[in-house]
Homo-oligomer: A and B are copies of this chain.
Amino acid sequence: MGRSAVNGQLDLLLLASLGAGEAHGYALIARIHERSGSRLELQEGSVYPALHKLEASGSVASRWADDGGGRRRVYALTTAGQTELARRAEEWNGFAAAVRGVLGAAS
């Protein structure tokens, strides 16, 4: 098992991070690392395919930006993506509550 182990929440994490403003892949990795309190260290090999999948499904849109530096693909949340984010966040809250319920009963 890898060091971060996102346990099925990769899409949620990416959508939520994009909810804070458009960004390119590398920046998203940094953003998630930061906001998770350094607990999540996503790998590029996980993030890029996930972003492509989210774009294919219409949750995010991308454009190429050449701000002087090298090529960058900047992703932004679409309207459908905002809906999807809300749906997944609720799903996560339900799952977390379910685990808390099972854990809480033991203590």
Interface residues of A (CB under 8 A from B): 5, 7-9, 12-13, 16-17, 19-20, 32, 35-37, 39-40, 85, 89, 92, 94-99, 101-107
Contact = CB atoms under 8 A, between A and B. Distances in A.
Contacts of A35: 101-102, 104-105
A99 B37 contact: no
B95 A16 contact: no
13 contacts: A5-B8, A7-B9, A12-B99, A17-B105, A19-B107, A20-B105, A35-B102, A35-B105, A36-B99, A39-B95, A89-B103, A92-B99, A92-B103
A19 B102 CA distance: 10
- Is chain A's binding surface mostly helix, strand, loop or mixed? helix
**Which among A35, A85, A99 has the highest number of chain B CB atoms within 10 Å?**
A99
B102 A36 contact: yes
A103 to B, nearest CB: 5
